[in-house]
């Protein structure tokens, strides 16, 4: 039921965001017990919250916002965040650019995830794109890293999930 509420609020937020500028506007979703805040002051962020405050999903672009990552998926050193989605209870995604090579980015995450008890499930290179996936034995923590060479260095995306 909580997932349905989050999806409903997210859809409502997308509709609100498409209606024009609403700097800092909060929209309460009747009967769903939550809120959507769209910030259109250039930050490109949107926050969806359950009414109990336990579930927060934050969407950001242009590197603005509070990027929170777990210990097994820290932000790559010197990375420039270009977008992120954080779900306080289940996971998130960060897209970033770096001058490092794609292989170096993936090696960093291989080391961090192994130190946190995750085991590799996929390690693949295809046409300059390096993909790495890892999980704990109980699958309560998952990590996926995709790093590709770009005109400005490397574009990478990390996606993680956590279950209690």
Q: pLDDT band at residue 58, thresholds of 50, 70 and 90?
A: low
pLDDT digits (tens, 9 = 90+) for 35-53: 666 665 555 666 666 676 6
Residue 120: other Cβ atoms inside 10 A = 13
C-alpha span between 132 and 145 (Å, rounded): 5
More confident residue, 88 or 83: 83
Of the candidates 32, 47, 54, which has an alpha carbon nearest to the alpha carbon of residue 84? 47
**pLDDT top residue among 129 and 66:** 129
- According to the model, what pLDDT value does residue 152 have? 83
Residue 20 has pLDDT above 60, yes or no: no
Q: Is-above-0.85 flag for pTM?
A: no
**CA 68 and chain centroid, separation:** 9
User: Which tops the pLDDT comparison, 100 or 59?
Assistant: 100
């Amino acid at each position: 039921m909580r997932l349905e509420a989050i999806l409903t609020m997210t859809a409502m937020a997308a509709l609100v965001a498409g209606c024009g500028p609403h700097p800092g506007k909060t929209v309460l979703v009747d009967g769903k017990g939550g809120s959507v805040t769209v910030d259109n002051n250039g930050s490109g962020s949107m926050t969806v919250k359950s009414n109990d405050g336990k579930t927060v999903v934050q969407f950001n672009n242009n590197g603005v916002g509070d990027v929170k990552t777990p210990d097994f998926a820290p932000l790559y050193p010197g990375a420039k965040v270009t977008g992120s989605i954080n779900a306080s209870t289940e996971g998130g995604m960060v897209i970033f650019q770096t001058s490092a090579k794609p292989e170096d980015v993936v090696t960093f995450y291989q080391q961090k995830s192994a130190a946190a008890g995750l085991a590799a499930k996929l390690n693949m290179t295809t046409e300059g794109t390096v993909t790495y996936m890892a999980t704990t034995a109980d699958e309560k923590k998952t990590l996926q890293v995709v790093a590709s060479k770009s005109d400005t260095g490397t574009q990478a995306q990390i996606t993680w999930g956590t279950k209690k």
